[in-house]
Amino acid sequence: MVAELRQAAADNPAYPPILFVFQGSVDQGRVYFSERWPEARAIADPRRRLYDAFGIQRGSVNKVLGFGAIRASTQAALGGHTPRVPVGDPWLMPGLFLIHTDTIVWQHRFKHIGDHPDFEALVDVASTLAVPV
């Protein structure tokens, strides 16, 4: 997903700013993002306080190991994105939010861990905001 967001942001100068939140340490984040998107902005949240604040929950067996997740993992591997040792809770679901001032104006709740949101929807929603994001 990092690669897809990086490409979407590179393809569209109107793409809203992206801030990643991850479960690992600052050092783990430096290693991860230096390989995938060195310019990315990210926050280490090893205690998962932001995950809790945004209502991100642990997934069921089907959401983490079901057909959709396995299919997405296989497609990612075929695209050169190989899995690594998980950092943090591997059962925690992803989340994607567009925040304007203090309001969540768009969100994607993942059907499974390999679900892919419509990244262009972020641009469409951001373009309707009165003040640029």
Domain holding 44, by residue range, is 2-127
**Is 133 a residue whose pLDDT tops 50?**
no
| Residue in the structure block whose two tokens are 């089907």 | 62
- How many separate domains does the chain show? 1
**Is 132 a residue whose pLDDT tops 60?**
no
CA distance 114 to 129: 29
- Confidence at residue 94, expressed as pLDDT on a 0 to 100 scale: 93
Any domain includes 133: no
Per-residue pLDDT band at 26 (split at 50, 70, 90): very high
Q: Which residues of 35-72 are buried (b: 16+ CB within 10 A; e: fewer)?
A: eebeebebebbeebeebeeeebeebeeebbebeebeeb
Round to the nearest angstrom and report the end-to-end CA distance of the chain.
21
Q: What does the DSSP 8-state code read for residue 40? A: -
Please write the tens of the pLDDT for every residue from 61-101. Answer: 999 998 888 888 888 878 877 777 778 899 999 999 999 98
Any domain includes 27: yes
The pLDDT > 90 percentage for the chain reads 55
Q: Of the candidates 6, 114, 97, 28, which has an alpha carbon nearest to the alpha carbon of residue 56?
A: 97
Any domain includes 10: yes
Residues in the chain: 133
pTM, entire model: 0.84
